[in-house]
C-alpha cells in the first residue's frame, strides 16, 4: 500500500477480532514506527502487551472505581473489545535537555506511524484512554513506576468485516494558515481566510 493510500484509508476500528499480530510482529513493526521524529532519540516509552485471559485482570482494574453493577460490567468488558491491548507507557527522561512535552510529542508521532504500519499489514487499531489511565489499580497491576505515565492502549486486531468503521471521504477541514512576510501579514492581520472555511490547498 502506498503511504498516501494508507493515510487516506486508515480509520480507528472500534470492533476488532482475531488475528492480532504476534508479539514478534508487533516488535518488528515498532522498530519501524520508532523511526518517527524523536528529538534526542530517547525512545521515551515502553509497551506492555496484554492478551487472552490477562485482559480479564485488566478489566477488573478498569472496574475498580465503579459504584454500580452496570458500570462494573461495562468496564470489565472493555478490554475484550480486541485480542491485543498494547499498553503504552510514557517513560520521560527527566532533567534532560529535551523537555517532557517534546518526548510526549515523539511518543505520539511513533504511535501514528505504528497505526499506519498495522493498517498496511491489514490489522486495525484504535488508541483508547479514559479514566483507567489515572487508575491506581491499573497502574499497580501493570507495575508502573511513579515517574511513568500511562497514556493509553492501542487496541489491536483485525477489523470485524461486519462492523467496519465508515470510510469517510476527505472532509474539507478548516485549518488556520497564515502567510508571514517581512511586511507582516498581507491584507489584514490573522489567517489567510479569517472565516477559515477553506482547505489549505485552496488558500495557499
Ligand atoms: C491520545 C488519544 C486518546 C484517545 N482516547 C480515546 C478513547 O478513550 N476512546 C475513544 O473512543 N477514542 C479515543 N481516541 C480517539 C480515537 O483513537 C480516534 O482517533 C478517533 O475516534 C477518530 O477516529 P479516526 O482515527 O478514525 O479518525 C483517542 C485518541 C487519542 C489521540
Would residue 132 count as lying in a domain? yes
Would residue 195 count as lying in a domain? yes
Question: Are 116 and 194 contained in the same domain?
Answer: no
Question: Are 178 and 158 contained in the same domain?
Answer: no
What is the pLDDT at residue 146? Answer: 96
Give the whole-angstrom CA distance, residue 143 versus residue 145: 7
What is the pLDDT at residue 188? Answer: 57
Ligand 1 pocket, Cβ-based, cut-off 6 angstroms: 11-12, 126-130, 152, 165
Most ligand 1 atoms within 8 A of CB, residue of 127, 151, 155 to mutate: 127
Nearest to 10 by CA among 171, 120, 161, 105: 120
The H or E element containing residue 114 is helix 100-120
Would residue 2 count as lying in a domain? no
Question: Are 62 and 149 contained in the same domain?
Answer: yes
Would residue 168 count as lying in a domain? no
* Segments forming the whole domain that contains residue 27: 9-163
What is the pLDDT at residue 196? Answer: 41
- Ligand 1 atom closest to the Cα of residue 10 is 26
Q: CA 99, 101, 105, 111 torsion: positive or negative?
A: positive
Give the whole-angstrom CA distance, residue 141 versus residue 133: 12
DSSP 181: B
Asked if residue 38 lies in contact with residue 45, where contact means CB atoms within 8 angstroms, the answer is no
What is the pLDDT at residue 114? Answer: 98
**3-class secondary structure, 155:** strand
* Ligand 1 centroid from CA 124, angstroms: 13
Cβ within 8 Å of residue 204, ≥6 positions away: 177, 179, 192
- Interhelix angle 54-62/69-77, rounded to 10 degrees, is 140
Question: Are 119 and 56 contained in the same domain?
Answer: yes
Question: Are 18 and 88 contained in the same domain?
Answer: yes
What is the pLDDT at residue 194? Answer: 45
Domain with residue 146: its CATH number is 3.40.109.10
Would residue 108 count as lying in a domain? yes
Question: Are 150 and 51 contained in the same domain?
Answer: yes
Question: Are 113 and 17 contained in the same domain?
Answer: yes
Would residue 131 count as lying in a domain? yes
Would residue 85 count as lying in a domain? yes
Question: Are 146 and 184 contained in the same domain?
Answer: no
Q: Around Cβ 185, how many Cβ atoms within 10 Å?
A: 13
What is the pLDDT at residue 187? Answer: 64
Question: Are 178 and 130 contained in the same domain?
Answer: no
Cβ within 8 Å of residue 199, ≥6 positions away: 172, 173, 174, 175
Give the whole-angstrom CA distance, residue 150 versus residue 165: 26
Question: Are 116 and 184 contained in the same domain?
Answer: no
What is the pLDDT at residue 175? Answer: 76
- Ligand 1 atom closest to the Cα of residue 115 is 25
- Ligand 1 atom closest to the Cα of residue 126 is 17
Task: Please tell me the number of Cα atoms within 13 Å of 22 on its side-chain side.
Answer: 3
Instruction: Give the residue whose CA is nearest to atom 23 of ligand 1.
Output: 12
Per-residue pLDDT in tens (0 to 9) along the chain, 204 residues: 799 999 999 999 999 999 999 999 999 999 999 999 999 999 999 999 999 999 999 999 999 989 999 999 999 999 999 999 999 999 999 999 999 999 999 999 999 999 999 999 999 999 999 999 999 999 999 999 999 999 999 999 999 989 887 777 666 677 778 788 888 776 655 555 544 444 444 444
Q: Phi and psi (nearest 5°) for 119?
A: -60, -45
Would residue 3 count as lying in a domain? no
Task: Report how many domains make up the chain.
Answer: 2
What is the pLDDT at residue 167? Answer: 78
Question: Are 139 and 203 contained in the same domain?
Answer: no
Question: Are 105 and 178 contained in the same domain?
Answer: no
Amino acid at each position: 500500500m502506498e503511504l498516501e493510500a494508507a493515510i487516506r484509508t486508515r480509520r480507528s476500528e472500534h470492533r476488532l477480532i482475531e488475528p492480532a499480530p504476534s508479539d514478534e510482529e508487533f516488535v518488528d513493526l515498532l522498530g519501524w514506527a520508532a523511526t518517527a521524529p524523536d528529538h534526542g532519540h530517547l525512545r521515551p516509552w515502553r509497551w506492555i502487551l496484554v492478551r487472552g485471559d490477562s485482559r480479564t485482570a485488566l478489566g477488573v482494574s478498569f472496574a475498580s472505581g465503579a459504584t454500580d453493577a452496570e458500570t462494573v460490567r461495562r468496564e470489565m468488558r472493555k478490554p475484550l473489545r480486541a485480542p491485543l491491548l498494547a499498553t503504552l507507557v510514557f517513560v520521560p527522561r527527566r532533567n534532560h535537555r529535551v523537555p517532557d512535552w517534546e518526548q510526549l510529542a515523539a511518543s505520539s508521532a511513533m504511535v501514528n506511524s505504528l497505526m499506519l504500519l498495522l493498517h498496511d499489514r491489514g490489522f486495525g487499531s484504535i488508541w483508547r484512554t479514559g479514566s483507567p489511565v489515572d487508575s491506581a489499580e491499573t497502574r499497580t497491576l501493570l507495575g508502573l513506576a511513579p515517574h511513568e505515565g500511562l497514556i493509553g492502549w492501542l487496541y489491536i486486531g483485525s477489523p470485524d468485516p461486519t462492523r467496519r468503521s465508515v470510510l469517510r471521504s476527505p472532509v474539507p477541514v478548516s485549518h488556520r494558515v497564515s502567510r508571514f512576510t517581512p511586511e507582516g501579514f498581507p491584507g489584514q492581520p490573522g489567517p489567510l481566510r479569517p472565516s477559515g472555511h477553506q482547505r489549505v490547498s485552496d488558500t495557499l
